[in-house]
Homo-oligomer: A and B are copies of this chain.
Amino acid sequence: MFSVAEENYIKSIYHLQRSGYNVSTNELASHLQTKPASVTDMLKKLQAKNLLHYEKYYGFKLAPDGRKLALSIIRRHRLWEYFLVEKLGFGWEEVHDIAEQLEHVQSAELTDKLDVFLGHPRFDPHGDPIPDQKGKMESQKLICLLDAPLGKQLIVAAVQNQSVELLEMLKAKRLAIGTKLIIKKRFAFDESMEVKLSGNDVFSLSDKLGREVLVTLNQAS
């Protein structure tokens, strides 16, 4: 039905659009490790297949069919990740590349039988929700970092405003959409907190910053 390349584009567009950034040809190219010119070519093809709305120089976004396809790919990817970790004993950090291949195996029956076999898991080993056959998935509740629980793994999901100053600060602190962190300590005095990243660096964040950052609980952990 759709080629591996097409599926990868659709998946990337979905993920980038969802993370709030305005998706540009350049962003998409760097996300897919390819060149902007290649992206333009593919965007036209995807539009011709009704997966995408695209107007040149203006921008693009997924059409309903594209969104449906994206969710179906994500469903396959996350089910396979769950299988690899829970049944085959892989570590959750090892499974991404293998799932990238498995997700392109085309068979709706396979996906659904795998889902049944695994017991309809609702979250993959990274804590991301698994869409059902209809593309519905658990919506991750966004929590303000100031209100988030201590000691649990959190994932940065969004920011409240897009000011240059905030984005600059996030960059400096190595915080981005998808960054995983744990709140180690919170000081009542000024509402600042100490936070540990997955890379094990620990640093402190002010209340002001904490107020702007929205996170989700990593459900798998």
Q: Name the B residues within 8 Å of A106 (CB-CB).
A: 101
Residues of chain B lying within 8 A (CB to CB) of residue A203: none
Output the least CB separation between A13 and chain B (Å).
24
Q: How distant is A104 from chain B, measured CB to nearest CB, in Å?
A: 8
Give the interface residue-count category, chain A: 10 to 19
A114 close to chain B: CB less than 8 A: yes
A105 is an interface residue with CB less than 8 A from chain B? yes
Q: Decide: B101 and A113 in contact? CB cutoff 8 A.
A: no
Residues in B neighbouring A107, C-beta threshold 8 A: 97-98, 101
Determine if A90 is an interface residue (Cβ-Cβ < 8 Å).
yes
Q: Which A residues lie at the B interface, using CB under 8 A?
A: 84, 87-90, 94, 97-98, 101-102, 105-107, 109-110, 113-114, 116-117
Known: A88-B110, A89-B116, A102-B102. 9 other contacts (CB 8 A): A87-B117, A89-B113, A90-B109, A90-B113, A98-B107, A98-B110, A101-B106, A101-B107, A102-B105
6 contacts between A and B (CB under 8 A): A88-B114, A89-B113, A89-B117, A98-B110, A101-B105, A102-B105
